[in-house]
Structure 1
């Protein structure tokens, strides 16, 4: 019987065939550079397909990654330094809406070439539109004139995404690569909805019937499978075949079929981890096979991620006035490639 590793190899091959549905091929170097930034190039996909240790993180689609959330990718880099076989799979939650106040995807805060805080508004905060999903909107179209070198590159590549969520993934990935938070060739950014789509629509190869039954059972039993409506909002799915995303625990459980070894999370994830295990156990029973549940890789407690890379006094005052947190992009602008020089976990 094929192993979940074989399923991951099929998924990597399928992703390769979907690349021009993720990144618009404009016929210039931006297409290839965007693939490499996201880990969708041939070298990265080949390594992902056979990696012995795949660690998963689950960021929201946003141009902003504020502290302390920066600690997630920083911690995975720490683990990759200790184990060069470790691969980082960033499964990006593309179904979040613009009212997500933890990540604030309605605007992009960055530092201009003089180090001053700037805000680029990207979506209305009108209450009528607060449930609109990031992935339902078109890609970013412009590069802010005041942006510095890395942010200008990030915004330029973001224009290659097929929708707003992919644009945000490109912004995130460009900053993380430049800050040393990701390892080139060993990091892959994938929209969550594509993981669901693969198991929803794709029939696995010969001999994989049991794993397909497992995926079907999980899809059919998800208590909150949701589709993307014409208005750009999430609505209850009428059938598993129309699901854009599943409920949170089922989304994570589905990653078990990709032979992921660990899911990185904190206290909040630990609080509902038993639900993820319940989803896996139920699918095991329905398909009459045993699929290994990834381990919960807990973020270490008590780490002050801002201590080694604090905002400058001037910026701290600007952030307080704006009611906004310090982000990984701002830390990159003020401290350079900080994650390459500093390991807060040692």
Structure 2
């Protein structure tokens, strides 16, 4: 618990960095509450015996089949009288070439029934590798949008950068979908985990014998580092100057969140043995309360089977060349994840 508490205390210190400096106090408070970074949500996380972890990319879109991860987490939480806290560790370093999440544009459904696209950033050859966190926040009111999307766009404008804007947008949509509720979820940028590890690793010599700083130093000694260059594209750098590590080191930081189950699919299950190898190398310096995370493979399901697009929307998506998203599903079906549970017989099984 001491390790998790130390990290949550760090989040409390740094959380306002995620909000625009000119945000009114009320707007900043609402944004932090949406992200589950207010005191009530952080207190709940601190008291939670276990944690569910998901790893979305920073994007305004969550396309099927990735919709199932947060949907599954909400289902698991509803079945438990004292549910584990859900931490959505958002990968804010992704760039605009990401075709799995397409963060360069937002597809939403207008009240007129038209699928509309707001392009946030050009994907031309020279600029498509710019990272999302390096761009200014969203500041748009989408044309003829539904109530949920209007609320999402208004919340998104208070993010300190585009990645946080996307986190806020996703938080509004996932609440409207019925996937998350109350104070049971926190949206956390991966960059905060990295900056915490760097701070601990660079701590005073008096902390040399403390397990947490020693563990963080060992992690940074083994990690490969990257940070954004002047053009917004990630470049290699020493790990102790990095804003993001290599993938295995990023996942090896998850014990800082508490005793966690990491929700993923077959792809993550395939490379999880490499993560366990990295964790094994860190175990010699781990504090007594640090437990290796376990992967929990999310059962297969199909959003289209339970809350799919209308024929008119399906035809438009085919013309756009994009899949159906949870945002579009909310516009057509409302709180579908609260009313429909394709995981009602599933149990959380760690690999």
Superposition TM-score, scaled by structure 1 size: 0.94
In structure 2, relative to structure 1, the CA distance for the partners of 1:290 and 1:38 (3 Å cut) is closer
Q: Where does residue 195 of structure 2 map in the other structure?
A: 197
C-alpha contact (below 8 Å) 1:9/1:50 kept by paired residues? no
Provide the rounded CA distance (Å) in 2 between the counterparts of 1:103 and 1:247: 20
Provide the rounded CA distance (Å) in 1 between the counterparts of 2:209 and 2:158: 35
Q: Where does residue 233 of structure 1 map in the other structure?
A: 233
Asked whether 1:325 is paired with 2:340, we answer no
C-alpha contact (below 8 Å) 1:141/1:159 kept by paired residues? yes
Asked whether 1:249 is paired with 2:248, we answer yes
Provide the rounded CA distance (Å) in 1 between the counterparts of 2:72 and 2:251: 19
For each residue in 1:38-60, what CA deviation from the matched residue of structure 2 results, as whole angstroms up to 9, or x when unmatched?
Answer: 00111001011121110100000
Q: Where does residue 2 of structure 2 map in the other structure?
A: 6
For each residue in 1:270-306, what CA deviation from the matched residue of structure 2 results, as whole angstroms up to 9, or x when unmatched?
Answer: 11101111111111235697942111111113x2222
Matches within 5 A, 1:89-108: 89-108=87-106
Matches within 5 A, 1:151-300: 151-202=149-200, 203=203, 209-222=210-223, 224-237=224-237, 239-285=238-284, 291-300=290-299
Q: Where does residue 62 of structure 2 map in the other structure?
A: 65
Provide the rounded CA distance (Å) in 2 between the counterparts of 1:59 and 1:108: 16
Q: Which residues of structure 2 form unaligned runs of 5+?
A: 345-351
Aligned residues: 339
C-alpha contact (below 8 Å) 2:137/2:157 kept by paired residues? yes
Bigger drift between 34-43 and 199-208 goes to 199-208
1:67 aligns to what SS in structure 2?
Answer: coil
C-alpha displacement at 1:209, in angstroms? 1.2
In structure 2, relative to structure 1, the CA distance for the partners of 1:309 and 1:287 (3 Å cut) is closer
Q: Where does residue 20 of structure 1 map in the other structure?
A: 16
C-alpha contact (below 8 Å) 2:92/2:190 kept by paired residues? yes
Provide the rounded CA distance (Å) in 2 between the counterparts of 1:74 and 1:287: 33
Superposition TM-score, scaled by structure 2 size: 0.92
1:236 aligns to what SS in structure 2?
Answer: strand
C-alpha contact (below 8 Å) 2:3/2:289 kept by paired residues? no
Provide the rounded CA distance (Å) in 1 between the counterparts of 2:113 and 2:196: 43
C-alpha contact (below 8 Å) 2:212/2:287 kept by paired residues? no
Provide the rounded CA distance (Å) in 2 between the counterparts of 1:253 and 1:293: 8
Provide the rounded CA distance (Å) in 2 between the counterparts of 1:11 and 1:162: 21
Q: Which residues of structure 1 form unaligned runs of 5+?
A: none
Matches within 5 A, 1:103-122: 103-122=101-120
C-alpha displacement at 1:69, in angstroms? 0.5
For each residue in 1:6-49, what CA deviation from the matched residue of structure 2 results, as whole angstroms up to 9, or x when unmatched?
Answer: 12112212211222211125225322211111001110010111
1:151 aligns to what SS in structure 2?
Answer: helix
C-alpha displacement at 1:262, in angstroms? 0.5
Provide the rounded CA distance (Å) in 2 between the counterparts of 1:232 and 1:304: 36
C-alpha displacement at 1:220, in angstroms? 1.4
